[in-house]
Structure 1
């Protein structure tokens, strides 16, 4: 098993970031400590991973781990081809061999010989299993998490809270009586978007708001729409475009008009919203942009061997749409 910066850090009694700085010739560490760390690295046999090249181009094997297949909403929200195109565009001068896998807690992602040759791993729209994280760190394989923000690892994600906050403040006023519609799920993304909605209501001095947690999209029906109408709840802030799309379909089916009877916003800018009768007000999470930034990470982490933390928040793109009345 290859020696990692974590092995050196343990032996030297310092942090992994200190070892990283020394191995990258940082002037922030004293000469005495640097000499000690370099001596330990040499004694343990530490070597940086080699990169294959063809002429002047690097050839990189990138493992792309996607969300589980049992989540039917993933392909509706995130375009994998768009992500892959973005990753390749982000490293234009080099050849990328992208090996796709689906995440599965019971499956060893590195069981095959080919899998073990990955120069880097990108986890897209899924969590990193602890056993996999440990394997990657022990074998000094860089890895990146997309659309999540684990504070101890590299990540690129969208600032869901800030984007939802901006969307709500552009859509509501003090006298609004909004409903935040979400699926019954406690995860990082849901929490951030809910908090963005809550913060915006507080900033706008909106006191009469409501949270509705759905166990199923089937709960968006005539009864729910009638209940909202009776309560005067006409501003619907959906957690994502899928919920917003189902709401619009049911509203039109039951002879309601958008935005005359209900104003409606979504979130994600997913492909499903393009099939709606009216352009949805939403925030587009530009997947190609996410991919290009991942390419930048590959350049810095794999090609240039930088070991400083890479943690990036991207800004979503606001789409005005025609589903909110002025």
Structure 2
């Protein structure tokens, strides 16, 4: 039989309630007493009964990490960075439950008894019904990646519109005038924000907007490849293409190479996200770095504070994007 709280209490000459409070870092226990109890627990290799503690504290010790979808429009690198960011923060005593919202026909399984808190990496407005179900269940919630209108929700995201604007502006500063965009998954908010940045940059620099230069993708390499083939087929193809994520940029580069053209000599490319492989493409991809891992880390910290019933500001927190200049943009002299 394993070591129990009563065993520690007997050796420490305190009540088992004091031991329980000390092991749960209660502010009601003096630091000297707390250190003594923890030292005894470590010497005895004490391991808490999580199930029993869950019943006593009415906690599940489960944190939910939900995305709009785990497959549609969600790249493996995006998912990996999201999970890594959360994992660096949450305590080892918590289980992390990862699921796509689209996997649920209804949300009856999402209850306060099952989840101590939920982090939502939101990619679309269709997540709103899930958000308000979680709020109705009074489960602490943090929403990442997409700005939500409810001022009571803790909301952390990157400024995608500004990042896209800077990417297109970089093309313009390098002499490009015929600039296209391969858009992301149509229903995702990030796709709209990045397109807005693209359009705003063209308008602010008094460049014409051509409908044929705006092609819809789906945040994967295949759609980047197919979209680039469409752009190459138009009568007056672009000299620069802003791709709404790096996966599509990589697909676009493949289509350019297959057409016996080169990046960046014939067509310059900029991606978005700065996934790990971007640095190792040929040529290395110029891209907009979006701090997904940092967003997830900040979100996890905020959630832990909420779960401890600490006050948290609900104003949106914007983390800045950064243009990473590598080798996929060439200077172009155009009239």
Q: What TM-score results when the alignment is normalised by the length of structure 1?
A: 0.71
Is the Cα contact below 8 Å between 1:184 and 1:214 reproduced in 2? yes
Could you tell me how far apart the structure 2 residues matched to 1:294 and 1:76 are? 20
Question: Residues 133 and 188 of structure 1: is their aligned pair in 2 closer, same or farther, counting only changes over 3 Å?
Answer: closer
Instruction: Summarize deviations over 1:215-256 as a string: whole Å, max 9, x none.
Output: 6556346564253xx525211111221221111001112210
2:256 aligned residue:
251
2:36 aligned residue:
none
1:315 paired to 2:297: no
1:219 aligned residue:
226
Instruction: Give, in angstroms, the shift of residue 148 of structure 1.
Output: 1.1
Instruction: Give, in angstroms, the shift of residue 91 of structure 1.
Output: 5.2
Instruction: Give, in angstroms, the shift of residue 311 of structure 1.
Output: 2.0
Question: Residues 185 and 53 of structure 1: is their aligned pair in 2 closer, same or farther, counting only changes over 3 Å?
Answer: farther
Is the Cα contact below 8 Å between 1:297 and 1:310 reproduced in 2? no
Instruction: Give, in angstroms, the shift of residue 271 of structure 1.
Output: 4.0
**Which of 289, 293, 300 is matched with 2:298 structurally?**
293
Could you tell me how far apart the structure 2 residues matched to 1:85 and 1:187 are? 22
1:104 aligned residue:
102
1:158 paired to 2:158: yes
1:122 aligned residue:
119
- List structure 1 runs of 4+ shifted beyond 6 angstroms: none
SS at match of 1:118: coil
1:148 paired to 2:146: yes
Aligned length, in residue pairs:
269
Alignment of 1:2-81 (within 5 A): 54-56=23-25, 60-71=61-72, 73-80=73-80
1:194 aligned residue:
195
Could you tell me how far apart the structure 1 residues matched to 2:230 and 2:75 are? 30
Instruction: Summarize deviations over 1:115-174 as a string: whole Å, max 9, x none.
Output: 733111111244575554343223321112221111103321111101111122122147
Could you tell me how far apart the structure 2 residues matched to 1:301 and 1:162 are? 30
1:204 aligned residue:
205
Q: What are the ranges of 5 or more consecutive residues in structure 1 without an aligned counterpart?
A: 1-51
SS at match of 1:117: coil
SS at match of 1:87: helix
Instruction: Give, in angstroms, the shift of residue 90 of structure 1.
Output: 3.7
Question: Residues 111 and 276 of structure 1: is their aligned pair in 2 closer, same or farther, counting only changes over 3 Å?
Answer: same
Could you tell me how far apart the structure 2 residues matched to 1:62 and 1:225 are? 47
Is the Cα contact below 8 Å between 1:77 and 1:268 reproduced in 2? no
Q: What are the ranges of 5 or more consecutive residues in structure 2 without an aligned counterpart?
A: 1-20, 27-56, 218-222
Instruction: Give, in angstroms, the shift of residue 280 of structure 1.
Output: 0.8
Tell me the C-alpha RMSD between the 2 structures.
3.1
Structure number with greater CO (CA < 8 Å, separation at least 6) is 1
Q: What TM-score results when the alignment is normalised by the length of structure 2?
A: 0.69
Instruction: Give, in angstroms, the shift of residue 214 of structure 1.
Output: 3.3
Could you tell me how far apart the structure 2 residues matched to 1:168 and 1:100 are? 35
Could you tell me how far apart the structure 2 residues matched to 1:109 and 1:310 are? 27
**Which of 282, 305, 308 is matched with 2:310 structurally?**
305
SS at match of 1:104: helix
SS at match of 1:141: coil
Is the Cα contact below 8 Å between 2:182 and 2:216 reproduced in 1? yes
SS at match of 1:267: strand
Is the Cα contact below 8 Å between 2:67 and 2:120 reproduced in 1? yes
Instruction: Give, in angstroms, the shift of residue 276 of structure 1.
Output: 2.3
1:282 aligned residue:
287
Is the Cα contact below 8 Å between 1:177 and 1:208 reproduced in 2? no
Question: Residues 218 and 245 of structure 1: is their aligned pair in 2 closer, same or farther, counting only changes over 3 Å?
Answer: closer
1:3 aligned residue:
none
Could you tell me how far apart the structure 2 residues matched to 1:184 and 1:267 are? 14
Could you tell me how far apart the structure 1 residues matched to 2:228 and 2:210 are? 20
SS at match of 2:283: coil
1:135 paired to 2:133: yes
SS at match of 2:102: coil
